[in-house]
Amino acid sequence: MSSALRWLPIAALIVGYGVWSLLSQQPFPQPIAVAHAASDAKPAPRFSQTAEADWLNSKPLTWPDLKGKVVLVNFWTFDCWNCYRSFPWLATVEAKYAGRGLQLLGVHTPELPQEYVRANVVAKVEKFKLTHPVMIDNDYRYWNAFGNRYWPAWYLVDKQGNVRAAFAGETHEGDANAKQIEAAVERLLAEAL
Protein backbone atom coordinates (compact mmCIF):
# COMPACT_ATOMS: atom_id res chain seq x y z
CA MET A 1 0.00 0.00 0.00
CA SER A 2 1.37 3.39 -0.95
CA SER A 3 1.99 5.97 1.75
CA ALA A 4 -0.65 8.28 0.20
CA LEU A 5 -3.34 5.60 0.52
CA ARG A 6 -2.42 4.97 4.15
CA TRP A 7 -3.33 8.56 5.01
CA LEU A 8 -6.67 8.48 3.16
CA PRO A 9 -8.78 7.33 6.17
CA ILE A 10 -7.19 9.99 8.38
CA ALA A 11 -7.76 12.68 5.75
CA ALA A 12 -11.39 11.59 5.40
CA LEU A 13 -11.81 11.86 9.18
CA ILE A 14 -10.30 15.35 9.23
CA VAL A 15 -12.49 16.54 6.34
CA GLY A 16 -15.57 14.92 7.94
CA TYR A 17 -14.83 16.63 11.24
CA GLY A 18 -14.37 19.95 9.47
CA VAL A 19 -17.71 19.63 7.70
CA TRP A 20 -19.41 18.60 10.96
CA SER A 21 -17.84 21.57 12.74
CA LEU A 22 -19.07 24.00 10.11
CA LEU A 23 -22.57 22.55 10.14
CA SER A 24 -22.77 22.47 13.91
CA GLN A 25 -22.01 26.20 14.02
CA GLN A 26 -25.34 26.91 12.32
CA PRO A 27 -27.88 28.24 14.78
CA PHE A 28 -30.07 25.13 14.65
CA PRO A 29 -32.67 24.93 15.83
CA GLN A 30 -34.35 27.80 14.07
CA PRO A 31 -37.88 28.88 14.92
CA ILE A 32 -40.33 26.72 13.01
CA ALA A 33 -42.91 29.51 12.99
CA VAL A 34 -43.54 32.76 14.79
CA ALA A 35 -46.86 34.64 14.68
CA HIS A 36 -46.29 38.12 16.11
CA ALA A 37 -50.00 38.94 16.32
CA ALA A 38 -52.83 36.76 17.61
CA SER A 39 -54.64 37.38 14.30
CA ASP A 40 -51.81 35.49 12.55
CA ALA A 41 -52.06 32.52 14.92
CA LYS A 42 -54.20 29.42 15.05
CA PRO A 43 -55.95 28.06 18.15
CA ALA A 44 -54.06 25.36 20.03
CA PRO A 45 -55.60 21.91 19.46
CA ARG A 46 -57.82 20.54 22.23
CA PHE A 47 -55.96 18.15 24.51
CA SER A 48 -56.41 14.67 23.10
CA GLN A 49 -56.02 12.80 26.39
CA THR A 50 -58.77 13.21 28.98
CA ALA A 51 -58.24 10.18 31.25
CA GLU A 52 -56.66 10.77 34.68
CA ALA A 53 -54.07 8.06 33.92
CA ASP A 54 -52.82 10.01 30.92
CA TRP A 55 -51.82 13.04 33.00
CA LEU A 56 -48.97 13.32 35.49
CA ASN A 57 -48.62 16.12 38.05
CA SER A 58 -52.10 17.39 37.17
CA LYS A 59 -55.68 16.50 36.57
CA PRO A 60 -56.62 16.42 32.86
CA LEU A 61 -56.47 19.99 31.60
CA THR A 62 -58.40 21.94 28.99
CA TRP A 63 -57.42 25.18 27.27
CA PRO A 64 -60.13 27.10 29.18
CA ASP A 65 -58.31 25.98 32.39
CA LEU A 66 -55.20 27.77 31.08
CA LYS A 67 -56.83 30.94 29.75
CA GLY A 68 -54.87 34.01 30.84
CA LYS A 69 -51.57 32.09 30.99
CA VAL A 70 -48.84 31.86 28.42
CA VAL A 71 -48.18 28.13 27.93
CA LEU A 72 -44.92 26.58 26.78
CA VAL A 73 -45.82 23.15 25.37
CA ASN A 74 -42.84 20.78 25.23
CA PHE A 75 -43.01 17.61 23.13
CA TRP A 76 -40.45 15.15 24.46
CA THR A 77 -39.71 11.49 25.04
CA PHE A 78 -37.61 10.15 27.89
CA ASP A 79 -34.90 8.29 25.97
CA CYS A 80 -34.19 11.29 23.74
CA TRP A 81 -30.97 12.82 25.03
CA ASN A 82 -31.75 16.11 23.26
CA CYS A 83 -34.93 16.21 25.35
CA TYR A 84 -33.53 15.46 28.78
CA ARG A 85 -30.45 17.62 28.21
CA SER A 86 -32.89 20.53 27.73
CA PHE A 87 -34.53 20.02 31.14
CA PRO A 88 -32.00 22.14 33.10
CA TRP A 89 -32.84 25.12 30.86
CA LEU A 90 -36.55 24.35 31.19
CA ALA A 91 -36.23 24.45 34.99
CA THR A 92 -34.65 27.92 34.80
CA VAL A 93 -37.48 29.11 32.54
CA GLU A 94 -40.04 27.76 34.98
CA ALA A 95 -38.35 29.49 37.92
CA LYS A 96 -37.96 32.75 36.03
CA TYR A 97 -41.45 33.07 34.54
CA ALA A 98 -43.93 30.96 36.52
CA GLY A 99 -44.73 33.83 38.87
CA ARG A 100 -45.39 36.07 35.87
CA GLY A 101 -47.97 33.81 34.23
CA LEU A 102 -46.05 31.15 32.28
CA GLN A 103 -47.30 27.56 32.51
CA LEU A 104 -45.10 24.70 31.32
CA LEU A 105 -46.87 21.70 29.83
CA GLY A 106 -45.05 18.54 28.81
CA VAL A 107 -46.36 16.18 26.16
CA HIS A 108 -44.60 12.82 26.34
CA THR A 109 -44.90 11.23 22.91
CA PRO A 110 -42.94 7.96 22.79
CA GLU A 111 -40.56 6.78 20.11
CA LEU A 112 -39.21 3.48 21.49
CA PRO A 113 -41.20 0.51 22.92
CA GLN A 114 -40.17 1.13 26.56
CA GLU A 115 -41.42 4.73 26.31
CA TYR A 116 -45.03 3.55 25.89
CA VAL A 117 -45.06 2.11 29.42
CA ARG A 118 -46.72 4.54 31.83
CA ALA A 119 -44.68 3.37 34.84
CA ASN A 120 -41.48 4.15 32.92
CA VAL A 121 -42.73 7.66 32.11
CA VAL A 122 -43.66 8.20 35.78
CA ALA A 123 -40.17 7.10 36.86
CA LYS A 124 -38.49 9.44 34.36
CA VAL A 125 -40.68 12.40 35.35
CA GLU A 126 -39.52 11.82 38.93
CA LYS A 127 -35.89 11.30 37.90
CA PHE A 128 -35.84 14.52 35.86
CA LYS A 129 -37.69 16.37 38.67
CA LEU A 130 -40.45 17.58 36.37
CA THR A 131 -43.22 19.15 38.44
CA HIS A 132 -45.29 20.72 35.65
CA PRO A 133 -48.23 18.86 34.06
CA VAL A 134 -47.26 16.11 31.62
CA MET A 135 -49.74 14.55 29.22
CA ILE A 136 -48.93 11.04 27.98
CA ASP A 137 -49.57 10.99 24.23
CA ASN A 138 -49.00 7.32 23.40
CA ASP A 139 -51.34 7.35 20.40
CA TYR A 140 -49.71 10.45 18.84
CA ARG A 141 -53.05 12.26 18.62
CA TYR A 142 -51.69 15.46 20.13
CA TRP A 143 -48.41 15.19 18.22
CA ASN A 144 -50.44 14.90 14.99
CA ALA A 145 -52.88 17.66 15.98
CA PHE A 146 -49.90 20.03 16.20
CA GLY A 147 -48.31 18.62 13.06
CA ASN A 148 -45.18 18.10 15.15
CA ARG A 149 -42.10 16.33 13.78
CA TYR A 150 -39.42 16.89 16.42
CA TRP A 151 -38.19 15.82 19.84
CA PRO A 152 -37.89 18.16 21.61
CA ALA A 153 -40.26 20.73 20.18
CA TRP A 154 -41.44 23.89 21.91
CA TYR A 155 -44.75 25.63 21.16
CA LEU A 156 -45.78 28.91 22.73
CA VAL A 157 -49.48 29.44 23.27
CA ASP A 158 -50.73 32.92 24.15
CA LYS A 159 -53.18 33.94 26.88
CA GLN A 160 -56.13 33.41 24.55
CA GLY A 161 -55.06 29.88 23.58
CA ASN A 162 -53.47 30.62 20.18
CA VAL A 163 -50.23 29.00 19.03
CA ARG A 164 -47.87 31.92 18.46
CA ALA A 165 -44.42 30.37 18.05
CA ALA A 166 -42.77 27.02 17.50
CA PHE A 167 -39.16 25.96 17.98
CA ALA A 168 -37.32 22.65 17.85
CA GLY A 169 -34.18 21.08 19.18
CA GLU A 170 -32.02 20.73 22.25
CA THR A 171 -31.93 23.97 24.22
CA HIS A 172 -29.50 25.22 26.88
CA GLU A 173 -29.48 28.31 29.04
CA GLY A 174 -28.02 31.22 27.09
CA ASP A 175 -27.92 29.53 23.67
CA ALA A 176 -29.55 31.05 20.58
CA ASN A 177 -32.67 28.91 20.86
CA ALA A 178 -33.16 29.73 24.54
CA LYS A 179 -32.79 33.44 23.81
CA GLN A 180 -35.38 33.28 21.02
CA ILE A 181 -37.86 31.30 23.09
CA GLU A 182 -37.46 33.50 26.16
CA ALA A 183 -37.84 36.67 24.06
CA ALA A 184 -41.08 35.25 22.66
CA VAL A 185 -42.23 34.37 26.20
CA GLU A 186 -41.52 37.96 27.30
CA ARG A 187 -43.53 39.36 24.37
CA LEU A 188 -46.52 37.13 25.09
CA LEU A 189 -46.46 37.81 28.84
CA ALA A 190 -46.51 41.55 28.10
CA GLU A 191 -49.63 41.28 25.95
CA ALA A 192 -52.97 42.20 27.47
CA LEU A 193 -55.52 39.48 28.05
Report the pLDDT value the prediction gives residue 32, as an integer from 0 to 100: 59
Measuring CA to CA, how many Å separate 121 from each of 57, 118, 126, 135, 190? Answer: 12, 5, 9, 10, 34
pLDDT at 26 over 70: no
Report the pLDDT value the prediction gives residue 4, as an integer from 0 to 100: 56
* Predicted confidence (pLDDT) per residue in 82-115, tens digit: 999 999 999 999 999 999 999 999 999 999 999 9
Confidence tier at 41 by pLDDT (50, 70, 90)? confident
pLDDT at 81 over 60: yes
**Partners of 106 in the β-ladder:** 74, 134
pLDDT average, residue stretch 126-152: 97
pLDDT average, residue stretch 126-131: 98
pLDDT average, residue stretch 168-172: 97
Domains with residue ranges and CATH for the chain: 30-190 (3.40.30.10)
What is the 3-class SS of 50-70, one letter each residue? CCHHHEECCCCCCHHHHCCCE
